[in-house]
Structure 1
Amino acid sequence: MSAILLGLGVYVLVGFTFRGLPKGRLDRPLRRRFLAPLGLVAGFLDATGGGGWGPVGTPALLASGRMEPRKVIGSTDTSEFLVAVAAGLGFLFSLGSQGIDVMWVAAFLLGSAVGGVIVVTNARTLLTSDVLYVALYALWAAALAYSVRAHLKERNATVAESAEERQPVGT
């Protein structure tokens, strides 16, 4: 990924340094034979390497010389948002077919884990004492343990209820 981005960066740097903005080509529509492979490669790199849509798409569109830089950045950011939504929905829909308990995923996505990460990462800039920071980590760990314990208790109660419902009456 770094090699690809280095190559694109050098190409854009050299192109804009020695040639400047292309004259007369701005705002001409981009061709599908350029956009389709770009979308395929950038999407593939984004899915496999965790980054690629913005870092690959932006310099490639800039290098095409057919869009102003502000439009390139706006278009890439908008499409990156749509790609992230599509990837997230694909992930959520595929969970059921993989034997993963969706309740666990929901508990960690919406629960103490995410809140704790946000609190801990942002508190680092506000707290001056390492002792307070360690105490914050301990509090977060306690909240996570409580959440997991509560989830397991609820799941066991649900399993016990369904087992009782399956028992024939009078036994």
Structure 2
Amino acid sequence: MVTLILIAVAGLAGQLVDGGLGMGFGVTSTTILIMLAGLGPAQASAVVHTAELGTTLVSGISHWKFGNVDWRVVASIGIPGSIGAFAGATVLSNLSTEAAKPIMSLILAAIGINLVWRFSRGIVRRQVAERPHSKPFLGVLGLFGGFIDATGGGGWGPVTTSTLLSAGRSEPRRIVGTVNTAEFFVTSAATAGFVIGMWEDLVANLAAVIALLIGGVIAAPLAAWLVTRLNPILLGGIVGTLIVTLNLPVVLKALGVAASALVFVRIAVVVVGLALAFRGWKKSRENSRAAAEKEGASQSKDEVNPASAAASVSATR
């Protein structure tokens, strides 16, 4: 019973993060399932992906109805992503727990470092240049993202969404909607790989899947409220720091680093991570303030020159 409660807490925490950042359910949930609930890496990833079948399906349908999905990109990134996810699930299912744990922790730590670094820069409003990505680029990105997602228990969003957003070749809403829709196929492929590789373990952990879903459902409305109250840049930095703090020592321990040294590693990660999170929060406020001032100056200029404002409106029609 205590284990199921911890798993429900993992689902709740994962959904809070995902609701605030638009990514991170798998990474956060998997970390908590391994560190607190005592599940093995393969079991944790299987539970998370099975629970995500429902959430990614609903998410994809919602984005499709709101016109946020580019189906050509879904196919270009989703098919290779599914292949990578199935391969990753198969590899993880056939690894021993002792061998899999440091590998998964390394992947999770890398994702955490990526989150810390990404959010330390604050939100930078990019000029969108509508140019399609090449199919080979999307194929490699999908294959890599799918493999990382399955072997790391999550990571599809941090890998693919972050990369496509940084390229600035499409509207953010279209990127998020397209990647989330493709994630359903990636999750389905990963789950199929776990079903084939560890069916008995998955059946034995069916209660864990339900508990994770319950925690996520409970957190969904709270996450929607939280995103209006908490700065997502600060949340992203803190979550990334937590993920690195929990997973990096596991990797270093497997490499033979002394336990006493790991204490200092954790302290250093927390100090540096929180400092970078605070830096990102400050930069995001400065960026927002500068954007608001620029917009205000532009509006004032249009008021002074009505002809210019009229021309601008006509150009957008």
TM-score by length of 1: 0.50
Larger Rg: 1
- Structure having greater relative contact order (Cα 8 Å, sep ≥ 6): 2
TM-score by length of 2: 0.29
